[in-house]
Amino acid sequence: MKQRLALLAAALWWGSLGTIGLLVVPMLFAHLATPAIAGGMAARLFSAQSWVSVACALVLLLASSSRGATSPVAFAQTTVLFVMAGLLLALLGEYAVAPRIVARENLRLWHSVGSGLYLLQWLCAGIVLWRAGRPAPRL
């Protein structure tokens, strides 16, 4: 059960990051009346995505903590590090970068930093999903 929950959380995390960042936000800028309207909506979506990321990372961390060393869910330490890195990237994006973008403070720099953090978070979530999808070791 824990293994399936971890796999679902990893899939939701990676899939939602990809859907928002690669599909929805570009469509906002392509189809809404002005870039300002699209940017405001994108900011709300990225903020919501940050909280989805936090929730998924916490579920993964809870699922990975096991009492027995033979648990099929017990992630390798490196996988837990990728979960923690993705969580940190989400929080940095939400609390360090997003306020600067919304304030239009050095917009080019902070947008680039935010995009880089988002891409790194997507990669971390992808690695976690890949590892969570491995078949459980036979006992």
* pLDDT tens track for 63-95: 887 654 455 455 678 899 999 999 999 999 999
Mean pLDDT of the chain: 91
Q: In this predicted model, what pLDDT tens digit does every residue of 19-37 receive, in sequence order?
A: 999 999 999 999 999 999 9
Domain ranges of the chain: 2-132
| Whether the Cβ atoms of residue 97 and residue 110 lie closer than 8 Å to each other | yes
Q: Is the pTM of this model over 0.85?
A: yes
Residue spans of alpha helices (H) in the chain? 2-19, 25-31, 35-64, 77-92, 98-102, 107-132
